[in-house]
Chain A
């Protein structure tokens, strides 16, 4: 039973380019959450999505960042015009429903480096 799959695991972009990070939740999970971990810091919640809906994007930067979770396919976190401060590990987590049953299942993360 595959866990939460994230790709790419590592991504290098130059300033001004776009970064797209993908997350496939665990089988049967329809709720996805994105977190960001800056170097030497704790994880910070960014956005919570259900299929085709954004439920809570209170942790998303106001500009350049967007997220989607289409009816078919993975969830995508998109960062436009990346800057060096976007360099971080981005983690996706999933749960079977909106109520926490006890645990979130996290992927291994996508590490973005902006040159």
Chain B
């Protein structure tokens, strides 16, 4: 599986935007980019996913570089509830099941 690299931790203030980067220089043309987050003592929660184009949903936006070697998860207005570990995951397009490879992720701290 192609590897992703994320900063170990990031900090933000409440109600400010947060940009969480992810590098995936060995991504292949059919790899999807998925983001999950895990709040303390809970299971992972889906955030967003994309292939080539930028994506928006009610939780976040995903900005994908033109060469697809990096992407950024954007939380438009951080809240205290957004404090979590954020995982950037590549999933091969040919796979047909939920065999995701979680890395260490980025620990996001949100200050009031």
Report B-chain residues with C-beta under 8 Å of the C-beta of A100: 32, 91, 95-98
Task: Assess the B102–A43 pair: CB atoms within 8 A.
Answer: yes
Nearest CB in chain B: distance from A2 CB, A: 14
Q: SS class of chain B's interface: helix, strand, loop or mixed?
A: loop
Total inter-chain residue pairs, C-beta < 8 Å = 63
Within 8 A of A (CB), among B68-112: 87, 91, 95-105
- Which of the residues B43, B91, B105 comes within 8 Å of A109, measured between beta carbons? B43
Task: Assess the B43–A33 pair: CB atoms within 8 A.
Answer: no
Within 8 A of B (CB), among A48-102: 48, 55-56, 58-59, 91, 93, 95, 98-100, 102
Within 8 A of B (CB), among A24-47: 31, 33, 35, 42-45
- Which of the residues A4, A58, A105, A107 comes within 8 Å of B46, measured between beta carbons? A105
Q: Which residues of B contact A (CB under 8 A)?
A: 32, 36, 41-46, 49, 87, 91, 95-105
